[in-house]
Amino acid sequence: MNNKDRKFGGRLIDIVLITTIVTLTVLAIIFTIANNESNYQNVSANNEIGKQTNPVNSVFPDISSSVTQEIVTTSINGVQIVKETLKDPIKSYSIQYIKTNSETVNAEIKKYISDSKSQYENIIRLKNTVEEHDITSNLVNKLNITVELYPHQKQYVSVVFTKNITLQSNNTDTTIHTLLFNKETGKTIDLEQILNGDGKSLISISEKVRSSILKNKTYQNHVYSDTLTKLTESKWNNFERFSIKNNSLVFYFNKGEIANSSIGVTTATVSLSTIYPLLIKEFQAGIKDGTVITNPPPKADSTNKKVALTFDDGPHPTITMEILDLLDKYDAKATFFLVGNRVEEYADVVIDTVERGHEIGNHTWSHAKLTNISPKQVLDQLKQTNIAIKNVTGQYPTVFRPPYGAKNQEVISLINLPVVMWTIDTLDWKYRDASKLLPSVKESMHNNAIILMHDIHQSTADGLESVLKYLKEQGYEFVTVSELSQYK
């Protein structure tokens, strides 16, 4: 073959190659356009399902899928529920979350949902279930997130997410995520803020949570004791999952976290009324059960001399009644600090005391020395007595006096009542001598005095009339301790 033939043959090959490349390029462009039109038609079809459904970007971009959203209005102003569904033979999911007027809240929720989707996909990949998937099997992968909303007062909303992940089995992993926010300010709130960052208050919460779980009959014989103890230690990060529901704090533990998986999600409930003194003011509003919120009595003329007679440790079935009769005789009002475990037994005496116009105070349930017991025990002493008095009289006590006068800053911080001490101790509990009662009063008497006596000693009842007669002659007006506080 001469050079001319070789050149012609080379040109022919070049022409063939160029033609082939051009043809393949045109076919690729046509295929791409056709594919895009097909995708557009699929999106349009999804839009025609209903006015509330809209296509969104899939979290799994490598899979051909159909994702839809539905937005539902709730009864809570400014809060909507978004229902998002992915129909896919391998990685399907059904998710609920909320949208609010707060970008801060929305951002936190968006991160939780995004992280949950990523976690779900990564678990599937790690377990190689994509490659091993059997389309004929009834066992599928499924991510399901549901949301519950609990409004509290007018401005707070608790959000509880329950996430279930099932991976081609009948076993489901269940976890909880919570969020509490103020829909007026858009700020999220944690337990540390609710308790004003007080570590001692956290100790009380820790004890109540642990007790709630251990006393729950459903959980008995299923709880992992060591794990429960560890996960209820007084550390803020142990109590991040909670909601406020029906005026109670509800704490959540994931399935299998502190108890056998057969129990499912484990919860502990702590009534806000039992921790009323531990709460910041914003969360104290509206709490009534087991707690006393009283309006101070109106101010009166303060020109006359005043004295407050107080009686501790009752009621007593006979001595208290004798004292009540003497007080009536001298038109005197007094304050009775009751021991809770005696209230129901002598309910008729307590009712009579109230009906005669006297003030009722809380003196703990069992006359406990509060500085020697735990915060939880202090709160229990207060609450039990409050409830006992309410059940008998229909009203809560209005003041509190610690037995033995034993108190410290920790004890005071737990008490949601005015703490009333005394300025004159008659020592009637020590002498048990009627003749010594009046001299002890005379020796220390002053205007606005608070006199300590006990309505469980017969000697006190026997010596009281001489005290009442003397104070009356000296021009003193007998008032309750709450009334007296208005004149100081």
* CA atoms of 184 and 105, how far apart (whole Å): 12
How far is 106 from 271, CA to CA, in rounded Å? 29
Q: How confident is the model at residue 55 (pLDDT cuts 50, 70, 90)?
A: very low
What confidence category does residue 139 fall into, taking pLDDT thresholds of 50, 70 and 90?
low
Could you tell me whether strands 141-152 and 92-99 are parallel, antiparallel, or unpaired per DSSP bridges? Answer: parallel
So what's the pLDDT on residue 303? 52
> Does residue 64 surpass a pLDDT of 60?
no
For residue 313, which amino acid is it?
D
**Residue 204, both tokens:** 């009380």
Q: How far is Cα 18 from Cα 113, in angstroms, rounded to an integer?
A: 51
- Find the DSSP H helices in 248-344: 281-284, 319-329, 340-343
CB 319 within 8 A of CB 461: yes
Rounded distance, CA 260 to CA 223, Å? 7
Active site residue 312: yes
Concatenating the DSSP letter of every residue in 245-263 gives ETTEEEEEE-TTTSB-GGG
* Alpha helical stretches, state H, 358-436: 375-393, 409-414, 428-431
Reported confidence tier of residue 431, pLDDT bands at 50, 70, 90: very high
- Does 320 or 51 have the greater pLDDT score? 320
Contact 343, 320 (CB under 8 A): no
Give residue-wise pLDDT tens across range 444-458.
999 999 999 999 999
Query: Distance between CA atoms of 372 and 403, rounded to whole angstroms?
Result: 12
Highest mean pLDDT (candidates 1-5, 104-108, 201-205): 104-108
How many C-beta neighbours within 10 Å does residue 221 have?
A: 7
Query: Are β-strands 305-312 and 476-478 bridged in parallel, bridged antiparallel, or unpaired?
Result: parallel
- Tell me the three state secondary structure of residue 287: coil
Among the residue ranges 185-199, 272-286, 426-440, the one predicted with the least confidence is 272-286
Say if strands 187-188 and 172-182 run parallel, antiparallel, or are unpaired: antiparallel
CB contact at 8 A, 179 and 189: no
Between CA 320 and CA 337 the distance in angstroms is: 12
* 425 alpha carbon, distance to own chain's centre: 42
Burial of 285 (0-12, 13-18, 19+ CB in 10 A): exposed
Name the pLDDT band for 38 (thresholds 50, 70, 90).
Answer: very low
Residue 336 sits at φ, ψ, to 5 deg, of -110, 120
| pTM across the whole model | 0.50
The mean pLDDT of 267-280, rounded to a whole number, is 84
Choose from 231-240, 288-297, 406-415 the range with maximum mean pLDDT.
231-240
Active site residue 446: no
Strands (E), 183-219: 187-188
Distances (CA, A) of 267 to 189, 253, 254, 477: 20, 6, 9, 54
Q: Report which listed range, 29-38, 130-139, 464-473, is most confident.
A: 464-473
Q: Does the structure show a pLDDT above 50 at 92?
A: yes
* Beta-sheet strand order (sheet of 266-271): 242-245, 248-253, 266-271
Catalytic residue among 152, 316, 358, 454: 454
Q: What is the model's pLDDT at position 59? A: 38
Q: Place 299 in a pLDDT band, splitting at 50, 70 and 90.
A: very low
**For residue 285, what pLDDT is reported?**
75
362-373: b or e for each residue (b if 16 or more CB lie within 10 Å)?
A: bbbbebbebeee
Calculate what percentage of the chain has a pLDDT beyond 70.
80
C-alpha torsion sign, points 69, 70, 71, 74: negative
pLDDT band at 172 (very low <50, low <70, confident <90, very high): confident
Res 84 pLDDT > 80:
yes
Q: Is the pLDDT of residue 46 over 90?
A: no
Domains and CATH numbers, the chain: 54-189 (3.30.565.40), 192-284 (3.90.640), 305-484 (3.20.20.370)
Q: Is-cis flag, bond preceding 315, omega within 30?
A: yes
Spot the catalytic one: 152, 177, 312, 428.
Answer: 312
β-bridge pairing 248-253 and 187-188:
unpaired
Ordered DSSP codes for 150-184: EEETTTEEEEEEEEEEEESSS-EEEEEEEEEEETT
356-386 pLDDT per residue, tens: 999 999 999 999 999 999 999 999 999 999 9
DSSP annotation of 297: P
What is the rounded average pLDDT for all residues in the chain?
83
pLDDT at residue 297 tops 50: no
